[in-house]
A = this chain, B = another copy of it.
């Protein structure tokens, strides 16, 4: 895992150099946080706080600038669940296109679906609407398994955490 991470960092260093950007310590620290939390969907603030644990002198603006840059270079993905905050995650190298989110309106948890659910749907949209699809966003809002179970047992939701709404 650690080795895998070094690999990815090196690859990104190259990508940056090829476009005459530097992989500065701050940028590297930011990327490492993102890699270490690949399962989550961190906000800029989240990233900032985590980076600061290891590199206390980094500024929030730098984190924003780094995230923006990485996003422009398609190294990471900027996503938005409609709660007014941007979140960042690593782009799947292969299946970049086929990755959706399940947001629990009860506890705020976000889970991913990695299957390609939209192959057929995209085909029909392309041909029926003459729309050339480059990307898509699919999000389901609902109740996750945990909260359903909790509700069955005692009628109380697991946690009251988020208000990700549309």
- Alpha-carbon gap, A102 to B128, bound state (A): 12
Partner of A102, one of B82, B131, B142: B131
Interface centre among A77, A82, A111, A131 (most CB of B within 10 A): A131
- Known contacts A145-B130, A166-B80; decide if A139 and B140 are in contact (CB<8 Å): no
**B-contact bits for A90-121, CB 8 A (1 contact / 0 none):** 00000000000010110000010100011001
Q: Which of A41-96 contact B (CB under 8 A)?
A: 77-80, 82, 84, 86
- Alpha-carbon gap, A139 to B81, bound state (A): 12
Partner of A142, one of B124, B133, B138, B144: B133
Q: Could you tell me which A residues sit within 8 Å of B by CB distance?
A: 77-80, 82, 84, 86, 102, 104-105, 111, 113, 117-118, 121-122, 124-125, 129-145, 148, 165-166
